[in-house]
């Protein structure tokens, strides 16, 4: 039976999916089992439900469909109960579940680019509390979220990044991080996980930044055998952009002074020249990496890293309306559920070669039980499944 093109109606198929998420309630209070509530919530969010009331209303309207998977003996819990149950899930265990589930669905293959970046859920801000901040891990070429970790603020990304990398299987991949991740502890963890790194350097590492600028001084636009160059031109939305990259080996005579930077093999200068009407802007960015200097790869890593903004953060804000969500209780857990729904839609789109957009696929799941069943079938962790 092909799990991707047939309707799955056996509850047992879903048991393993949610087994590791512990229900904190006493057994005699389980009128609404946690696996039922989770499946309801994922299905509802996939079909454009954006509030606890909409999740409840989806459940009432789709109860017959939901009962193909779980009994729902006592029907659909009220919206306040759904909120309470999702909120009481241990967020750290739920984050661990997301990582395990995602990594069973896809293989992190060599040359994939794994982007790590933080995002605040602005809608979670209250008078008493700041917005919830999530550190996200994104398999850029596959377009899937493979990890999330809730942190206190962007300033804590330095402490939490090694922890989330420790839980991931990233051997052979290249990890890209912005300047907030330019710390030796993070690099040590990437190297320990047998991956490469490509990390931006800014003023938070002034000595390293000055050294890189010195290396490129007088060599940009010059023809030297130890300097590699690659460029790309892009047009769109009334804008012309030329992206240039120079890469070179980190010199041996400097390595003793920067020995704490594990496996530092190459440095890069990426320059973006944008033409919008009569206005021209030029921006330069500097990077360190463990990969052998190759300007084309450096430009790819630089450009792909910011794909996490367009392919994940922008989608969460625009398609899932995360920044406008008034869900304050369980904001971290709802963020995971949105990412599960996004992964399901992307897996369906990729494996069926669908030309539909993610918003269109979400609408189709609300219109068609057949489409909904096929998209939800990707909740199963199938051994050997890979892009």
pLDDT of residue 384: 33
CATH assignment at residue 282? 3.90.350
- 84 and 119, same structural domain? no
Pair (143, 275) in one structural domain: yes
If asked whether residues 159 and 52 sit together in one domain, one would say: no
27 is in which domain, residue-wise?
Answer: 12-88+354-379
CA 333, CA 97: separation in Å to the nearest integer? Answer: 11
- Assess whether 182 and 221 both reside in one domain: yes
| Separation CA 214–CA 381 (nearest Å) | 49
Answer yes or no: is 303 within a domain: yes
**Of the candidates 94, 70, 227, 206, which has an alpha carbon nearest to the alpha carbon of residue 149?**
94
Task: Tell whether the model's pLDDT for residue 2 goes beyond 60.
Answer: no
pLDDT tops 60 at residue 370 = yes
Within 13 Å and on the Cβ side, how many CA atoms surround 270? 25
Beta carbons of 229 and 204 less than 8 angstroms apart: no
Q: Within this chain, do residues 17 and 115 fall inside the same structural domain, yes or no?
A: no
Q: In angstroms, how far is CA 151 from the centroid of its own chain?
A: 15
Does residue 144 share a domain with residue 221?
yes
Could you identify the residue written with the tokens 């979220």?
145
pLDDT per residue as tens digits for the range 148-201: 998 876 567 888 899 999 999 899 999 999 998 899 999 999 999 999 999 999
**Mean pLDDT in residue range 205-228:** 85
Distance of CA 304 to the CA centre of its chain: 13
Q: Is residue 320 part of a domain?
A: no
Nearest to 258 by CA among 173, 219, 201: 201
Inside any domain, residue 321: no
218 pLDDT band, cuts 50/70/90, is: confident
Residues 36 and 133 in one domain: no
Q: Is residue 346 part of a domain?
A: no
Q: Provide the domain count of the chain.
A: 2
Instruction: Judge whether 299 lies within some domain.
Output: yes
3-state class (DSSP) for residue 107: coil
CA-to-CA distance for 262 and 185, rounded, in angstroms?
A: 9
- Strand pairing class (196-201; 174-177): parallel
Does 365 fall in a domain?
yes
Q: Average pLDDT for residues 211-229, to the nearest whole number?
A: 83
Q: Is residue 324 part of a domain?
A: no
Q: Which of 168, 160, 152, 269 is nearest to 209 (CA)?
A: 269
pLDDT band at 123 (very low <50, low <70, confident <90, very high): low
pLDDT at 7 over 70: no
Q: Are residues 111 and 69 in the same domain?
A: no
Going through the chain in order, the beta strands assigned E by DSSP cover: 113-121, 132-139, 144-151, 174-177, 196-201, 227-236, 239-249, 266-276, 279-289
Of 85-94, 109-118, 221-230, 250-259, minimum mean pLDDT range: 221-230
242 & 281 share domain: yes
**What number is the average pLDDT over the span 243-266?**
92
250 pLDDT tier (thresholds 50, 70, 90): very high
Q: Is residue 81 located within the same domain as residue 125?
A: no
Based on the domain organization, do 57 and 108 belong to the same domain? no
**What pLDDT is attached to residue 29?**
56
**Residue 233 domain-assigned?**
yes
> Do 81 and 119 fall within a single domain?
no
Listed residue (145, 199, 151) closest to 177, CA to CA = 199
Taking the CA atoms of the chain, what radius of gyration do you get in angstroms?
A: 23
């Amino acid at each position: 039976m092909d799990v991707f093109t047939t309707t799955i109606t056996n509850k047992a198929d879903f048991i393993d999916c949610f087994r590791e998420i512990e229900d904190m309630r006493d057994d005699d209070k389980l009128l609404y089992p946690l696996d039922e509530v989770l499946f309801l919530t994922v299905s509802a969010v996939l079909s454009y439900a954006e509030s606890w009331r909409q999740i409840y209303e989806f459940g009432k309207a789709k109860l017959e469909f939901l009962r193909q998977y779980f009994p729902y003996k006592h029907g659909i819990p009220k919206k306040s109960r759904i909120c309470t149950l999702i909120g009481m899930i241990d967020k750290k265990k739920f984050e661990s579940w997301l990582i395990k589930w995602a990594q069973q669905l896809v293989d992190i293959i060599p040359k994939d680019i794994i982007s790590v970046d933080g995002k605040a859920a602005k809608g979670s801000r209250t008078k008493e509390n700041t917005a919830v901040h999530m550190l996200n891990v994104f398999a850029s070429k596959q377009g899937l979220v493979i990890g999330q970790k809730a942190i206190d603020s962007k300033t804590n990304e330095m402490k939490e990044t090694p922890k989330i990398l420790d839980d991931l299987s990233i051997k052979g991949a290249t990890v890209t991080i912005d300047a907030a991740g330019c710390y030796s502890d993070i690099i040590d963890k990437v190297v320990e996980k047998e991956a490469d790194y490509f990390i931006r350097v800014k003023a938070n590492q002034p000595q390293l930044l000055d050294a890189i600028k010195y290396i490129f001084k007088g060599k940009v636009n010059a023809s030297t055998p130890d300097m590699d160059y690659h460029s790309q031109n892009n047009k769109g939305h009334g804008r012309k952009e030329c992206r240039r990259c120079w890469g070179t080996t980190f010199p041996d005579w400097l390595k003793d002074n920067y020995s704490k930077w594990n496996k530092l093999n190459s440095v890069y200068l990426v320059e973006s020249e944008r033409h919008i009407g009569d206005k021209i802007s030029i921006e330069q960015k500097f990077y360190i990496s463990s990969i052998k200097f190759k300007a084309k790869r450096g430009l790819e890593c630089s450009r792909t890293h910011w794909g996490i903004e367009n392919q994940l953060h922008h989608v969460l804000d625009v398609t899932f309306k995360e920044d406008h969500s008034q869900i304050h209780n369980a904001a971290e857990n709802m963020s995971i559920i949105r990412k599960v729904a996004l992964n399901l839609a992307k897996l369906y789109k990729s494996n069926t070669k669908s030309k539909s957009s993610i918003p269109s696929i979400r609408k189709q799941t609300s219109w068609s039980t057949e489409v909904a069943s096929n998209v939800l079938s990707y909740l199963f962790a199938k051994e050997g499944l890979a892009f």
